[in-house]
Structure 1
Amino acid sequence: MTAGQAQAETPSAGPELRGTGDLGVVIERATGSVALVDTTQRKVLRHVEGFGDLSHASVKFTRDARRAFVFGRDGGLTRLDLLTGEVDGRIIQGGNSIGGAISQDGRFVAVGNYEPGGVKVFDTETMELVIDVPATYERPDGTTDQAKVVGVVDVPGNIFVFSLFEAGEIWTLDMSTEEPELTKYRDVGSMPYDALITANGRYYIAGLFGEDGMALLDLWHPENGVKRILPDYGRGEERLPVFKMPHLEGWAMAGTQAFFPAVGRNEVLVADTSDWSLTNRIEVHGQPIFVMSRPDERQVWVTFAHPLNDKVQVIDTQTHEVIETLEPGKSILHKEFTPRGEQIWISARDSNEVVIYDTRTFEELARLPAESPSGIFFTHRAHKIGL
């Protein structure tokens, strides 16, 4: 064998030859970095810097689960290559972005902005701007302004759906045609502050900060417009103090039941998804923020607002009883199940750790170092509607 032949047969340097199905990222809010993690080996592969202000951040994965788009509070849109562990694209596209979505075909990434209010859509490969949609609305006095955009999700048909906080509107942006088509649903309720999409992509539900109840758009029948559901959902006539508004993205769906956080109350609420009527109230440790279902829908895991954010509780979806209370560390909020639900990873922000539990035995499996960890995102999200 000649030297030239030997050189030709030597593998070239590059990313490790591996899949990405058991990878994920943990937001490290204090340092503007993320921890790249391996859920099979339960370890941190590396800490990656350069993401800007991550005091409120979220992550979406590309269709091939090779890259993660990180949306930062400073308006940054940053792309991370999961195989090289390096940032391979970053732009400052707005003044304050809190989330976004990737289209069904994987071609577009949409960013929802507080400042200036609106949605910007970029090409996922080139990161070039495709369309800018200002969230312009008319005030009661006839003047116009731009609303904060919240609750950006993707739905089947290459459509993005989002809510306008000050405007009380829900818009859809259809990216399936050469000229994107915008549809506006007005007067949906006072101050939609967050939203979710059901796993099948049918129902888009926005929580209302300014009044009790929620706004529902049936995307199978958009011609019916937006209707109001759960009129008892909210702070009620007592207008109880709210320490932190609940997040709606992690609503727990279990069969025909939906489990979701009460506003300002130490309760998890249960609704019948056939008619969206409230069927039960489950007393829990504190004001719930994230109410998430294990993938098999047998359990719901709940985290809480300050000052009672030191515990995690587990609810049996059949009996509606709290069956376990765990104390992973200080300032518990964010969590993520592995794809089939055998583990749950929980951020203990003020303990600077991610704590991993077996969801069947509740045994603690590992503790991983992280700098003020918050959101945890695994790559199986790449193949789920709205995640």
Structure 2
Amino acid sequence: MRLIASLLLAASLPVGVLANASSAPDATALYQAQCQSCHGLNRLGGTGPALLPESLGRIKPEEVRNVIHDGRPASQMAAYGELLGSDEIDALVGYLYRPAEVAPTWSEADVRASHRILADVSQLPDSPQHGADPLNLFVVVEAGNHHVRILDGDRFEELANFPSHFALHGGPKFSPDGRFVYFASRDGWVSKYDLHNLTMIAEVRAGLNTRNLAVSSDGRWVMVGNYLPGNLVVLDAEDLSLVKPIEALGNDGTPSRVSAVYTAPQRDSFVVALKDVKEVWELSWAGTPDFVPRRILAADYLDDFSFTPDYRYLLATSRQAKGGQVIDLDTGEALTDIPLPGMPHLGSGIYWQQDGRWVFATPNISQGLISVLDLATWELVTEIPTEGPGFFMRSHENSKYAWTDVFFGPNNDAIHLIDKQTLKVAHTLRPVPGKNAAHVEFTQDGRYLLLSVWDTDGALLVIDSETLEEIKRIPMNKPSGKYNVGNKIGFAEGTSH
């Protein structure tokens, strides 16, 4: 939305389009006059993000209303509070959350037409140009203003700060050498950024509503999983050009959304969860791949999953009463249910060795507990009570604690430190009382960690992992995720994959 254009359009509207004392606002006409020039025909997006229910799913209507009324700083989104009445803004908000009259589509031709090369890698230096350790950089997603910050993980100083596409989602992924980082936004844009030269390389719109992406550990392929349209999109990692779209259809032809896609480096494959059919897909990238999925029947639908350390087994969510299932990727068999009450967030679960055995711990987004499983027997070891439901859990091989937040509920300013040997809460921190504390990521050596104060008036806190003292505070607007290059490309114990 651009204010000058909007004022001109509003002035040209016939009587009755905008609200008056005797008629309700025409939300469709309001969108066409005020929003379409930036957000696109049929709300599919343009210079502004897509405004579909699928894209706005995690944003509360009141927040959307505030953005329309007040605008968004450091963006082209102007304030409409003086141009539109309260009932007109309310009508627009309701319209944006209404399903499209014509089902939106995004074809192979649309993907190709959106592709943009922004810099020629062959003309850029192939060594870091900033003096920081390239394996100890942090990529920080600042969700409150849709920006990304690159931090030096030794000095905790900012190297770059640039706008992102709307609502980066699913966590950025890295090339095997750590030079490039790949982002996926909620409304389908995939971007490639050069961390050596701090410049954007390429981007493409792979879908309309994207879940996440994965990068093959040989550095050749990017796999994107979409809710809308329900498909996978294979991109060439070098320039993000389209290689192949893969429609997400069950073995019986049932269409599905894609819940998640991750890379399994020891298997030379991508592993995919389908949301609407009871299947797991494995797609090999070895040799000259055809990306034809190997179908594995699951015991239940999958929303998310995590791997065991050897990447043989999936620990996957299940909508049935017991909450989880184990799938053997070697044999293609669903082995057993696992006792996980509530809504475990397995994609944020982590594993470590406790008394010589591998255990897996997962937070729970509906109950205040951490479930700990024995990875040899699949039995529940213990449930650790917390002050409320959590979302993220992180650790490091050099840390004796697993850090877990209390993301939901009245105690979301708390962070629990769980002793990885006793499996009990050793410390509870409240870094900024009254403000949501969430998502921890360690430096490559585990000496320090970054913790988000997830608030508009928020910050990144740099904390000494041994003394638990705050070392530095960096003001930010809802810093959601922080990702350390070395930990991510090494698939380090304790971080997300």
Q: TM-score range by the shorter chain?
A: 0.7 to 0.9
Relative to 1, partners in 2 of residues 1:268 and 1:113: Cα closer, same or farther, differing over 3 Å? same
Does 2:446 align with 1:332? no
Distance 1:62 1:176 in 2: 16
Distance 1:91 1:193 in 2: 26
Q: Which residue of 1 aligns with 2:231?
A: 118
Deviation string 1:295-352 (CA, Å, 9 cap, x unpaired) is 2362111112322321111011112221111122322222211122111111112042
Distance 1:57 1:47 in 2: 20
Q: 1:19 deviation in Å? A: 4.0
Deviation string 1:64-104 (CA, Å, 9 cap, x unpaired) is 21111011101010111112222211111111112121112
Distance 1:276 1:359 in 2: 30
Q: Which residue of 1 aligns with 2:351?
A: 252
Relative to 1, partners in 2 of residues 1:71 and 1:344: Cα closer, same or farther, differing over 3 Å? same
Instruction: Output the amino acid matched with 1:40.
Output: D
How many residues get paired? 359
Q: 1:373 deviation in Å? A: 0.7
Counterpart secondary structure, 1:89: strand
The structure number with the bigger radius of gyration is 2
CA contact (8 A) 1:60 1:70 kept: yes
1:226-265 superposed matches below 5 A: 226-230=334-338, 232-235=339-342, 246-255=345-354, 256-262=358-364, 264-265=366-367
Q: 1:38 deviation in Å? A: 0.8
Instruction: Output the amino acid matched with 2:188.
Output: G
Does 2:341 align with 1:216? no
Distance 1:209 1:47 in 2: 40
Q: Which residue of 2 aligns with 1:147?
A: 257
CA contact (8 A) 1:153 1:197 kept: no
Deviation string 1:205-227 (CA, Å, 9 cap, x unpaired) is 211245423222333xx225222
Does 2:128 align with 1:128? no
Does 2:309 align with 1:188? no
Counterpart secondary structure, 2:331: helix
Relative to 1, partners in 2 of residues 1:205 and 1:155: Cα closer, same or farther, differing over 3 Å? farther
Distance 2:214 2:277 in 1: 21
Distance 1:143 1:180 in 2: 18
Does 2:132 align with 1:24? no
Does 2:479 align with 1:373? yes
CA-atom RMSD in angstroms: 2.3
Higher mean displacement: 124-133 or 34-43: 124-133
Distance 1:19 1:301 in 2: 25
CA contact (8 A) 2:257 2:276 kept: yes
Instruction: Output the amino acid matched with 2:304.
Output: D
Higher mean displacement: 333-342 or 198-207: 198-207
Q: Which residue of 2 aligns with 1:76?
A: 189
Q: Which residue of 1 aligns with 2:467?
A: 361
- The gaps in structure 2 that reach 5 residues or longer are 1-124
CA contact (8 A) 2:259 2:302 kept: no
Q: Which residue of 2 aligns with 1:7?
A: none
Considering fraction of residues, name the structure with more strand.
1
TM-score under structure 2 length normalisation: 0.68
Distance 2:454 2:198 in 1: 23
Does 2:125 align with 1:15? no
Instruction: Output the amino acid matched with 2:335.
Output: K
Relative to 1, partners in 2 of residues 1:20 and 1:225: Cα closer, same or farther, differing over 3 Å? same
1:176 to 286, 295, 298: 286
Instruction: Output the amino acid matched with 2:218.
Output: D
Distance 1:34 1:167 in 2: 35
- Which structure is higher in RCO with an 8 Å CA cutoff and minimum separation 6? 1
Considering fraction of residues, name the structure with more helix.
2
Distance 1:197 1:127 in 2: 27
Instruction: Output the amino acid matched with 2:340.
Output: Y
Q: 1:263 deviation in Å? A: 5.2
Q: Which residue of 2 aligns with 1:310?
A: 413
Distance 1:90 1:151 in 2: 19
CA contact (8 A) 2:224 2:261 kept: no
CA contact (8 A) 1:229 1:277 kept: no
Instruction: Output the amino acid matched with 2:305.
Output: A
Deviation string 1:155-196 (CA, Å, 9 cap, x unpaired) is 32420001101112111001214233411112431x311111
Instruction: Output the amino acid matched with 2:173.
Output: K
Distance 1:72 1:332 in 2: 23
Relative to 1, partners in 2 of residues 1:333 and 1:105: Cα closer, same or farther, differing over 3 Å? same
Distance 1:18 1:373 in 2: 22
Q: Which residue of 2 aligns with 1:301?
A: 403
